[in-house]
Structure 1
């Protein structure tokens, strides 16, 4: 079930991430030119409304449709979503994420139905007119029926979360956010809920706290700082590098393995996240667009005029709380990092002897006699941790003089010709679901992991035996 939810989050990410440049451009226009902006300009501020009402939802719809059914799906998604936009009182981001893929799915099924039945010479006529007619029906359908339903659902979610804001219970969202993030479900929450609500809120207030309730880099920074000082073995050595990638680079996946290795640390993440949200609320601050990636640089760049003190305070408070609790847990923990590494080593030895692994989640390796020519690093969106892992492994492969292709992908977008898929162990079920016949190597840390070392040794041995 979790793997299916992760896949859904990956699909949402595939819709949102390619268009983040447009969202950020809108955020800058808003921050600069609205009456409360840095350089208020009545002429340029006229761009704010049309962009958020028309451009951004249509981009989401087109991209979502294209993911489902290529170019025709993208066009169908845009046409179908336009009915929602015209009939709605608010920006239709949630509607675009639903109607875009749905419209493309209808076109895809129609194309499959008429495949090989089109008379020679009539392909263009049938393709163009079928897309036009289906688009017409979808546009009318969304305008008259789907739009009102999505509008009511959107209002219900908005009222619920705004109720949390008014009652002061917004920090409780961390109880959901933080566990979801370390289970790689963060994209479902951010791209599916908070970003659409944040855009609507920004149109009214010029900023929104919704962009910050799950993207604050402070809790992760505090945890990694604590590991840098009080961790043991590999975790202590890798934490400083992870800090740079997480806090400055905005790749939050870097701290997930440290929590998964010691699950009780989710307490420090929840309290750190909640304290950050509380601080943001007390200062009444927000961002003008979604910070993607969640880097401190993105936070500062998207902070509107007069909000810097509150934004920085929220990040620092979250860091301090997370650091304090993580440090206390690490210093009082009886289990050492060396014991953890010994457990992994023992499991591998038992596997080599043909016995059952003590912990099958640590590594999954299928026996294969075929040569390895293409290694894919895969993560939720194919842009964060997998890109970093692929880059590091590619440099090592090139240094050893190996003719191996190493690239990064979203799990569901891995090419069929790949020989080995490398992914985080928490994404194993999802990887198996997408690629049941592929060899999958699981890791715990994209920067340094014993299974990566073993894979490299295998490639070196392959070269020597060639």
Structure 2
């Protein structure tokens, strides 16, 4: 393997900071999606408008969303910071915010009714944002407090101190949740709800796609989706039976349309791989697979925005929405969350998906056709660069063969030979570092949530390593936030590598464009083979 000392360029800190914040929010929400689905099923069947109304079982719907969901989110946020101890303190603090919010609403309604007996009452505010604030905050502060008396407690009193300190600090954090946090979150939810209602009243909600679609391909969407849209959507769904907000980011139509455009109008490997990516994106709900295609040619983001706006407009005009969040964003998950509000609603949502895909396909097709000649020229230049690299290397390489067959994917950048050479240099850096530093026993694929795309990539590489006869090498997937330094080699998509490197600076980091199929996988297998045979 060749070594190289050229440092890999790093992206700006602002984007990485937003990604990290979004990942943390995602880490609190994603593990609790089953609870949201269970609540949606109760709603679908047992409320008065459900498929099988049941007055007794419907009584669980309100407490489920008002108490259980915020509490499990608060526990998860605390657990992420300080394991079970942090989770327990986080759940206590969240309960304080729930009770404080209820008191504020009751006082406001009492004052409003006293002034005007015909005034409409405010409904409950569900403390999802409060849980996402208090869970981590309570756990972090508990961790800091424990550090103050660590090693200073007399032997035999450790359990007593641990139990009482957590209970007392949980009490303090519950008071903080009851007063300032409940007041803050109630006000914030009022502002955000008013902003959404204002956009809806002026028919401007489709404009959110101008922010959301570019944010998705840069892995910045989690902060918007889990920080704002999910809490607001749940509140709206509980009040109205469904919410369009769940579809602003999860609609699989734009991604499908982009991949179909590559399948028809693309060139080389990008065209060949697009149909498989479309199946994974649309049926599996792993939207990350289309992000590299958009980043190849940033002008394609305009196609995604057009498709996203089309989908939002369709749902806004025809009243489409989901009862609970669709995660992952598969057409099956979207359909299940849509049919919970009735078959007519399902048809509207499916129409929004079809129209979003169609518009994205048409706009992306025009962009790809307009740059086809330039892309073909860039492909020829790329293949010449690969041939030269193979000659310099002095031996054949499966990875370089893969690069040659995938030339069009890089050619779509449209910048000629320079970006290609930079990519090859990045390959050399990764492979050289692998062979020069440590034995590879633990390979980890890392992404935002540690599910979806990273699980898919781990499966692909695991099969390659097993076929090569090295089944003792562990290949797993994790969320970037859960990287703990035990990893020998970490594989991430290019936009996320800086964050992963910050978590595990001693590991070898490999960046790929697409978890589905990368020539760098063959390089990793070659490295493992060389290490085992040496």
SS at match of 1:84: helix
Equivalent position of 1:33 in the other structure: 46
1:287 is matched with which residue?
322
Match of 2:91 in 1: 78
Matched, 1:66 2:79: yes
Relative to structure 1, is the Cα distance of residues 180 and 221 closer, same or farther in structure 2, using a 3 angstrom cutoff? same
Count of paired positions: 464
Residue of structure 1 equivalent to 2:398: none
In structure 2, do the counterparts of structure 1 residues 424 and 417 end up closer, same or farther at CA, with 3 Å as the change threshold?
same
Q: Does 1:160 align with 2:195?
A: yes
Runs of 5+ consecutive residues of structure 1 not aligned to the other structure: none
Cα displacement (A) at 1:189: 1.5
In 2: Cα distance, 1:151 partner to 1:346 partner: 62
Q: 2:130 aligns with which of 89, 95, 105?
A: 95
Offset, 1:180: 0.6
**CA positional deviation for 1:14:** 1.2
Partner of 1:440: 509
Within 5 A, what are the aligned runs for 1:176-195? 176-195=211-230
State the Cα distance separating 1:341 from its structure 2 match: 4.8
Cα deviation, residue 370, structure 1: 2.4
Shift of 1:422: 0.7
Question: Which one is further off, 1-10 or 128-137?
Answer: 1-10
Structure 1 counterpart of 2:168 = 133
Match of 1:266 in 2: 301
Write the distance in 1 (CA, Å) between the matches of 2:493 and 2:359: 27
Contact 2:90–2:136 (Cα < 8 Å) also in 1: yes
Q: Which residue of 2 aligns with 1:335?
A: 375
Q: Write the deviation string for residues 216-236 of structure 1: whole angstroms up to 9, x where unpaired.
A: 000000011111111111111
Report if aligned partners of 1:390, 1:408 keep a CA contact under 8 Å in 2.
Answer: yes
Tell me, in whole angstroms, the C-alpha distance in 2 between the residues paired with 1:448 and 1:149: 46
Q: For the Cα contact (< 8 Å) 1:275–1:317, is it kept in 2?
A: yes
Asked if the contact 1:34/1:206 (under 8 Å) is kept, the reply is: no
Larger deviation: 252-261 or 399-408?
Answer: 399-408
Query: Which of the residues 397, 417, 422 maps onto 1:359?
Result: 422
Q: CA deviation at 1:351?
A: 10
**3-state DSSP of counterpart to 2:516:** coil
| Counterpart Cα distance in 2 of 1:108 and 1:417 | 22
CA distance in 1, matches of 2:384, 2:62: 57
In 2, Cα distance between equivalents of 1:287 and 1:38: 16
What RMSD over aligned residues (CA atoms) do the two structures have, in Å? 2.1
In the superposition, relative to structure 1, how do residues 339 and 114 fare at CA in structure 2: closer, same or farther (>3 Å)? farther
Q: Distance in 2 between matches of 1:350 and 1:53?
A: 65
Shift of 1:343: 8.2
1:50-449 matches, cutoff 5 A: 50-88=63-101, 89-303=124-338, 304-305=341-342, 306-333=344-371, 334-336=374-376, 338-339=379-380, 341-342=382-383, 345=386, 358-359=421-422, 363=427, 365=430, 367=433, 368-402=436-470, 403-449=472-518
Which segment is superposed worse, 120-129 or 336-345?
336-345
Post-superposition shift, 1:183?
Answer: 0.6
Q: Secondary structure at the match of 1:442?
A: strand
Specify whether residues 408 and 153 from structure 1 end up closer, same or farther in structure 2 by C-alpha distance, changes over 3 A only.
Answer: same
Q: 1:289 to 1:346 in 2, by over 3 A?
A: farther
CA 1:351–1:380: 2 relative to 1, 3 Å: farther
1: distance between equivalents of 2:314 and 2:83? 44
C-alpha distance in 1, partners of 2:21/2:284? 25
Mapped to 1, the partners of 2:299 and 2:381 lie a distance apart of 15
**Contact preservation (8 Å) 2:485, 2:503:** no
**Aligned partner of residue 214 in structure 1, secondary structure:** helix
Moved more, 29-38 or 144-153: 29-38
Q: Verify the 8 A CA contact 1:227 1:239 in the aligned structure 2.
A: yes
CA distance in 1: counterparts of 2:357 and 2:328, whole angstroms: 18
Offset of residue 369 of structure 1: 3.7
Structure label with greater radius of gyration: 2
